[in-house]
Copies of this chain bind each other. A is one copy, B any other.
Amino acid sequence: MKTITKMQIKTTAHEAFEAFIDPKKIGNFWFSSSSERWQEGKTIRLRYEEYNAEGEIQVIELIQDQKIVFKWGKEHTVSITFNPQEQNSTLVEVVEEGFVVSEEDLIAQLIDNKEGWVFMLTCLKGYLEFGINELRGGLVH
């Protein structure tokens, strides 16, 4: 079982890709910090200053300006793809796989997961299109 979330962003695939892997940029729309530049095979520590929370991801695959695949949490795999569209626009698509159908709170897991990705991608759009980095703290769970 998986979630799929897609956002059209008026920017290049390069700019959208770099926003994730460049530790100077991620704090504008998602985690407040990232321990280093994402690279294939690296373990990256992501921090959410606002919630005093940290977590790790394992970067499985990186194709510059095209695709990011990482593992996190309970053996979940996240694939982020960057598909160039007309007029210098990019479709950013996030797929998270690994949800276990037999788990009692499956529905809550899927809904929370969808919530997180929609929010992050909308914050990314606000950042890349308008330079706004203050949307990301707004969602209350």
Contact = CB atoms under 8 A, between A and B. Distances in A.
A138 interface: yes
Contact of A7 (B121, B130, B134, B140): B140
A112 B100 CA distance: 19
Interface string A1-29: 00101111100000000000000000000
A68 to B, nearest CB: 18
Copies in the complex: 2
A138 B3 contact: no
B110 A122 contact: no
Among A3, A8, A111: residue with most chain B CB under 10 A = A111
10 contacts: A6-B139, A6-B141, A8-B137, A8-B138, A8-B139, A107-B107, A122-B135, A122-B139, A125-B135, A126-B135
